[in-house]
Structure 1
């Protein structure tokens, strides 16, 4: 007789779970500490970012000193990606000279988060604010700053206190981290670029195509307020700074990682060490955000990882499998050929980056302008033609296409609205901006005094109007004078109201004004001057960028100069051709507008020259006005003519070129001497008296027939400055 045993259902479930654990136990046991360490690197896609106000071009303190002053700052973050450990460090101080009642209110994305009463004589107004994790579809965290200062004594007609000010330091910063795997499109990755993004290039001497793509990318970054860093992929015998590099203990059994366990400078001995550095991603050499995809770079990446994989596989087969998985997720996507795609988002080592096809960089970067970057919503993009700025048939360009954001702002006393644009982005077919039309509407206020709207171009007042302030559209029209144009332009509208308080019975209130989307500038054909602004207009239609062969051999040193000067000059990265001169002694004859770097130009008459002995000569015709030697970290940029073509020539003065610390802003003129901090002095060799800035229809004086002295061609300040600079350097050398 057979007996049957009934097993409870719960016991069966426990038994099944136990059997499954036994089945997978060997797999866990087989995973070595080395493979576990590699798996942790594979799973880690966390990225840390710090964005400072200095990265946004705000390199000086922001001063708020009105009775009611408000400012909003937009700090870029990846669009539609959650933030982790996000903190805003508000760095500020205040002065209270009028014994007033001062209040600081800080808000994030319109939500008030901190209020401070600051009533001591002076003190610290800094604050640390937690930022929520929510994704921002706008791609920015909005910091609102409101400062109110009212003096203690009863004085209803005017309660302003000029001694009560808030100083916001450029060190104010947003620190956060995010998961790179959640970056889903090219536009979000572009918006997540830090203030100084790195452009990764192939090691050693670059090909012409790779160099061409790199300078175009750099200028495109300058146009959106970022400063490109040139990062070359390391090669054997390069020196790498290992400061801050932390190596997991399990990885030190691999020879490549063990050799990197040190501090300070380290000379790379083999390709496997390069692969180990790429895998860790902790050195500046691999902290890149964009890369020019060319065969030389892809080959160097593969060779370094192949060498590292051989060492890993020789130690531990399981670790070799983990390494293959890491390589598939963190590298192969960047190296994969994707047909005709111009831009693709991928991981390279520990960082996400945008891979730009070297043969179509000019087309690809057009998508990153303000007009088109919101359309880059996929991980791979193909641009068939250039993404050009949309222009109307009658030459009008909306300010909203130039970076200006239409909308309403509240104005109590004074508020500014601005749009910035390079001249080369709007000028075309010989046209330059000649008129500006700004459409505004304003709500009525409590005061009977109408508000005033003033229009500035590059801080020149070009138009103003008292507004009816009835809520209807009103237009401020102004002619743009030639002297106000520059290679980089800022159009600013300043609104000013008269805040009143009727014997303290009313509290002054802010009332809205709006800049409307119909605001625009009008372009017309005009004769172009032979100065920096005239060249920027010429470059808009196309230009030749001429460089010597030596620039390709040292891209890390030459590209930062080329990018800064090309951006300041108005050269469009979309409409320029790069030409490399193989023979540095042969004078070139350009057939269109040109920007030349360290190459001789046929027939050019340069006001600043450097002879074979290193002498700097500033001259006019046969008369030498200044002869200096032993200058360093200086360069000359000047407008010249070659045959029928106009162009600009850049030449280093002395043994070393300037290291530009910030964007170069060219003033009016056609010759400038550049230093590390930009233009040191600028003058117009063809218009010493400034008569070309006067309109042709202006009456001429009785002395119009007189010719200016040739000595006026070079202002005395130029000579004095350079003499003092040379004397100071010689004195320092003598003291040393």
Structure 2
């Protein structure tokens, strides 16, 4: 990173300006309406809820070992005091083998609740109070320890498969904080909810803003968050109103009074849009991020001008108070940025990160890397921000999300690192070997612990460990079929617990994954499947979209973000290309990702039409012909000239609205539905024969092309047949 220039305002001035403004407005106001407007943002409290399913944990976590432990990290604003914070632990248990079960919960390493759970089954839920101390780490750490003991004679195995604890994805942390305490961009980025809102301009989006928003959305997907695209509401749009009441003094203004309710409401004029922005009374405008767009700022000013005129006609003093509010929240906070700037602003009472379109790539690099800790002001000029590239073909696992360190191992524990293929294959090299360095302390048992290495749940290597505390290396070849656009490298440790016939209590002994663990990259020709395209997309990619997609950004951007993330497109090294004519075939000059566009000289094995007909061909054979499909889409790898790419096409009139991140397994074609990939396969090899090693027997082909060794048994068989034929001939003559 070449330089990071801090903005003109210090963090202290930022916080002080928020607090100092409100009393000034109150003193200047005299009428009840003016006082009510001045008090609108006196309370900058933000309410947040973080659930496990917001963090990508969509299935229950099951703890079933005799001593199982899990730590969960729930993000909060770093360095900001929490108020009214509580953690709802949603869990249940089964006790099928009559054991003694104990649940211990801790917060930030401090035990806060312990209970025995010894009924046949029951509820293990609990509500824990969370202290208001600021967390410099940016997270509240929930520790869960589950112990299950089944006593048997002669100290038989005490583990019981019927005694389990189930932690539900509804487990959640609720808290509030004062927005005036949120003083730097890095803390605001870490405090983003699981589904952050991205505010965009109404109507057709400019190419620069569209380009910036899809990159921002993919960057959020890569850190486990799903962007909500929120177009600025306009006249005639329907919004969802919250149950919060409008202050009585404001109800004398028609625009404010119309919003005093809950449920769906259709905005009738621009003044109501302005009132909605001032009150923040709808999730449809509760944005956490926005791209600096002149059209967006114009829409906000137009709505507030209409509200200002309505208030001016009723109470000039109140109009002055509203003007002061606009000066602080809109003109100062949401004013135009420089080309490399990012700013922490307020929209109503809600903090929002505003990013210049040309600074999006550098901002994503800054926020999603170790440089994040340097984003310590409410406004930054990011002249440059890049990640260091590997030169010798080795990449440490610590760079891929894995944290080297020690684990206390009693029976079984896992360590993992998750990385998109595009983060490692940025220069055309692919992972070919995983090198995992581990160390193990000796235990009570003479049976050596075992370490197994998995990539995307494929076992690629394993070893028995020498428990002497010294480094031991496990090298595993990474097969091509194990690679995907998103990869999880997991190291699973297993140790035999020993109690010496009940004279000792089984204890955990440490194992470590060392910082020298890495993957090896080598130049290779990527395949013509999704994994191969992820390697190509890590370098240079043309993202081709029709102009109609910019006309409807609220529906097209979520699709573009999900597909770009699933196929491995790098938001840092891709180029957006908007096609004005969606009937003319595009002719890409590099690897490409095309949406709803014809591609020149491409032979597509999956063919779709607007009526929802799906054709799947393999060479001269038609494998499938289905008609009248809807809410589905086809995604496939194709070739145009010398360039490989992926094309997305909707089946029927309605495109699927993806609920979760897409996961593409091995293959070059996939049929997609709202719930994800319905079927993924290889149109070049539908039977999967290419997965088998070349030296394996080939069935009938082996009979057609026998080796010389077959001549020996064939000669013996021929001799026996001739001998039998001779005997039969002699018998016939006799």
Distance 1:592 1:34, change over 3 A: same
Q: What corresponds to 1:280 in structure 2?
A: 279
- The question of whether the paired residues in 1 share the 8 Å contact of 2:545 and 2:578 is answered with yes
Once the 2 structures are TM-superposed, how far is the Cα of residue 246 of structure 1 from its aligned partner? 2.1
Q: What corresponds to 1:209 in structure 2?
A: 208
CA distance in 2, matches of 1:452, 1:617: 48
- The question of whether the paired residues in 1 share the 8 Å contact of 2:41 and 2:348 is answered with no
Q: What corresponds to 2:678 in structure 1?
A: 680
CA distance in 2, matches of 1:337, 1:520: 44
CA distance in 2, matches of 1:621, 1:435: 34
CA distance in 2, matches of 1:251, 1:154: 75
Q: Residue 359 in 1 paired to residue 358 in 2?
A: yes
Q: What corresponds to 2:90 in structure 1?
A: 91
Once the 2 structures are TM-superposed, how far is the Cα of residue 371 of structure 1 from its aligned partner? 3.6
Once the 2 structures are TM-superposed, how far is the Cα of residue 704 of structure 1 from its aligned partner? 4.8
Q: Residue 537 in 1 paired to residue 520 in 2?
A: no
- The question of whether the paired residues in 2 share the 8 Å contact of 1:333 and 1:347 is answered with no
Q: What corresponds to 1:138 in structure 2?
A: 137
- The question of whether the paired residues in 2 share the 8 Å contact of 1:237 and 1:269 is answered with yes
- The question of whether the paired residues in 1 share the 8 Å contact of 2:618 and 2:684 is answered with no
CA distance in 2, matches of 1:444, 1:313: 79
CA distance in 2, matches of 1:136, 1:572: 32
Q: Residue 557 in 1 paired to residue 555 in 2?
A: yes
Count of matched residue pairs? 680
- The question of whether the paired residues in 2 share the 8 Å contact of 1:638 and 1:670 is answered with yes
Q: Compare 633-642 and 393-402 and name the one that shifted more.
A: 393-402
Per-residue CA deviations over 1:269-288 (Å, capped at 9, x if unaligned) read: 22111110011112022111
Q: What corresponds to 2:227 in structure 1?
A: 228
- The question of whether the paired residues in 1 share the 8 Å contact of 2:406 and 2:513 is answered with yes
CA distance in 2, matches of 1:624, 1:359: 47
Q: Partner of 1:499: helix, strand, or coil?
A: coil
Distance 1:257 1:30, change over 3 A: closer
Q: What corresponds to 2:626 in structure 1?
A: 628
Q: Residue 103 in 1 paired to residue 102 in 2?
A: yes
Once the 2 structures are TM-superposed, how far is the Cα of residue 527 of structure 1 from its aligned partner? 1.3
Task: Please list every run of 5 or more consecutive structure 2 residues that lacks an aligned counterpart in the other structure.
Answer: 1-22, 705-734
Mapping for residues 500-515 of structure 1, pairs under 5 Å: 500-515=498-513
Per-residue CA deviations over 1:590-645 (Å, capped at 9, x if unaligned) read: 00000111000011111111235442222234543332222111100000000000
Per-residue CA deviations over 1:108-167 (Å, capped at 9, x if unaligned) read: 000000001000111000000001111111111100000000014335131011111101
- The question of whether the paired residues in 1 share the 8 Å contact of 2:337 and 2:356 is answered with no
Q: Partner of 2:308: helix, strand, or coil?
A: helix
Once the 2 structures are TM-superposed, how far is the Cα of residue 38 of structure 1 from its aligned partner? 1.7
- The question of whether the paired residues in 1 share the 8 Å contact of 2:451 and 2:465 is answered with yes
Q: What corresponds to 2:162 in structure 1?
A: 163
Q: What corresponds to 1:665 in structure 2?
A: 663
Q: Compare 373-382 and 80-89 and name the one that shifted more.
A: 373-382
TM-score, normalised on structure 2?
Answer: 0.90
Per-residue CA deviations over 1:686-716 (Å, capped at 9, x if unaligned) read: 12343433456x4554645799xxxxxxxxx
Per-residue CA deviations over 1:10-46 (Å, capped at 9, x if unaligned) read: xxxxxxxxxxxxxx9xx96962222222222221211
Mapping for residues 432-451 of structure 1, pairs under 5 Å: 432-451=430-449
CA distance in 2, matches of 1:121, 1:677: 35
Task: Please list every run of 5 or more consecutive structure 1 residues that lacks an aligned counterpart in the other structure.
Answer: 1-23, 708-736
Q: Residue 383 in 1 paired to residue 388 in 2?
A: no
Once the 2 structures are TM-superposed, how far is the Cα of residue 100 of structure 1 from its aligned partner? 0.6
CA distance in 2, matches of 1:568, 1:61: 24
- The question of whether the paired residues in 2 share the 8 Å contact of 1:386 and 1:574 is answered with no
Q: Residue 580 in 1 paired to residue 564 in 2?
A: no
CA distance in 2, matches of 1:100, 1:329: 63
- The question of whether the paired residues in 1 share the 8 Å contact of 2:98 and 2:120 is answered with yes
- The question of whether the paired residues in 2 share the 8 Å contact of 1:458 and 1:484 is answered with yes
- The question of whether the paired residues in 1 share the 8 Å contact of 2:292 and 2:337 is answered with no
Per-residue CA deviations over 1:177-199 (Å, capped at 9, x if unaligned) read: 11111112111111100001111
- The question of whether the paired residues in 1 share the 8 Å contact of 2:339 and 2:357 is answered with no
Once the 2 structures are TM-superposed, how far is the Cα of residue 458 of structure 1 from its aligned partner? 0.4
Mapping for residues 506-525 of structure 1, pairs under 5 Å: 506-525=504-523
CA distance in 1, matches of 2:38, 2:516: 56
- The question of whether the paired residues in 2 share the 8 Å contact of 1:42 and 1:329 is answered with no
- The question of whether the paired residues in 1 share the 8 Å contact of 2:610 and 2:652 is answered with no
- The question of whether the paired residues in 2 share the 8 Å contact of 1:99 and 1:152 is answered with no
Distance 1:338 1:676, change over 3 A: closer
Once the 2 structures are TM-superposed, how far is the Cα of residue 262 of structure 1 from its aligned partner? 3.6
CA distance in 1, matches of 2:526, 2:692: 15
Q: Partner of 1:360: helix, strand, or coil?
A: helix
Q: What corresponds to 1:719 in structure 2?
A: none
Per-residue CA deviations over 1:500-521 (Å, capped at 9, x if unaligned) read: 0101000000111121222111
Q: Residue 45 in 1 paired to residue 44 in 2?
A: yes
- The question of whether the paired residues in 2 share the 8 Å contact of 1:638 and 1:648 is answered with yes
Q: What corresponds to 2:462 in structure 1?
A: 464
Q: Residue 418 in 1 paired to residue 416 in 2?
A: yes
Q: Partner of 2:382: helix, strand, or coil?
A: coil
- The question of whether the paired residues in 2 share the 8 Å contact of 1:41 and 1:326 is answered with no
CA distance in 2, matches of 1:433, 1:706: 37
CA distance in 2, matches of 1:227, 1:611: 30
Aligned counterpart in structure 2 of residue 615 of structure 1, from 613, 616, 619: 613
Q: Residue 67 in 1 paired to residue 75 in 2?
A: no
Q: What corresponds to 1:117 in structure 2?
A: 116
CA distance in 1, matches of 2:29, 2:38: 14
CA distance in 2, matches of 1:612, 1:170: 39
Per-residue CA deviations over 1:398-434 (Å, capped at 9, x if unaligned) read: 1111111111111111110111010001102220111
Q: What corresponds to 1:289 in structure 2?
A: 288
Q: What corresponds to 1:710 in structure 2?
A: none
Q: Partner of 2:144: helix, strand, or coil?
A: strand
Q: What corresponds to 1:335 in structure 2?
A: 334
Q: Partner of 1:665: helix, strand, or coil?
A: coil
Q: What corresponds to 2:597 in structure 1?
A: 599
Q: What corresponds to 2:256 in structure 1?
A: 257
Once the 2 structures are TM-superposed, how far is the Cα of residue 659 of structure 1 from its aligned partner? 1.2
Once the 2 structures are TM-superposed, how far is the Cα of residue 377 of structure 1 from its aligned partner? 2.1
Distance 1:699 1:242, change over 3 A: closer
Distance 1:349 1:190, change over 3 A: same
Q: What corresponds to 1:11 in structure 2?
A: none
- The question of whether the paired residues in 1 share the 8 Å contact of 2:63 and 2:166 is answered with yes
Q: Partner of 1:599: helix, strand, or coil?
A: coil
Q: Partner of 2:39: helix, strand, or coil?
A: helix
TM-score, normalised on structure 1?
Answer: 0.90
Q: Compare 587-596 and 41-50 and name the one that shifted more.
A: 41-50
Distance 1:153 1:291, change over 3 A: same
- The question of whether the paired residues in 2 share the 8 Å contact of 1:245 and 1:283 is answered with no
Per-residue CA deviations over 1:207-246 (Å, capped at 9, x if unaligned) read: 1111111110110000000111110001112122224252
CA distance in 1, matches of 2:242, 2:318: 27
- The question of whether the paired residues in 2 share the 8 Å contact of 1:157 and 1:500 is answered with no
- The question of whether the paired residues in 1 share the 8 Å contact of 2:109 and 2:143 is answered with yes
Q: What corresponds to 2:193 in structure 1?
A: 194
Once the 2 structures are TM-superposed, how far is the Cα of residue 466 of structure 1 from its aligned partner? 1.4
- The question of whether the paired residues in 1 share the 8 Å contact of 2:610 and 2:651 is answered with no
Q: What corresponds to 2:5 in structure 1?
A: none
CA distance in 1, matches of 2:208, 2:549: 13
- The question of whether the paired residues in 2 share the 8 Å contact of 1:243 and 1:263 is answered with yes
Q: What corresponds to 1:318 in structure 2?
A: 317
Aligned counterpart in structure 1 of residue 643 of structure 2, from 621, 627, 645: 645
- The question of whether the paired residues in 1 share the 8 Å contact of 2:546 and 2:595 is answered with yes
Distance 1:623 1:462, change over 3 A: closer
Q: What corresponds to 2:722 in structure 1?
A: none
- The question of whether the paired residues in 2 share the 8 Å contact of 1:370 and 1:403 is answered with no
Q: What corresponds to 2:12 in structure 1?
A: none
CA distance in 2, matches of 1:658, 1:371: 36
Q: Compare 611-620 and 467-476 and name the one that shifted more.
A: 611-620
CA distance in 1, matches of 2:546, 2:490: 40
CA distance in 2, matches of 1:461, 1:50: 37
Aligned counterpart in structure 2 of residue 401 of structure 1, from 389, 395, 399: 399
CA distance in 1, matches of 2:600, 2:580: 16
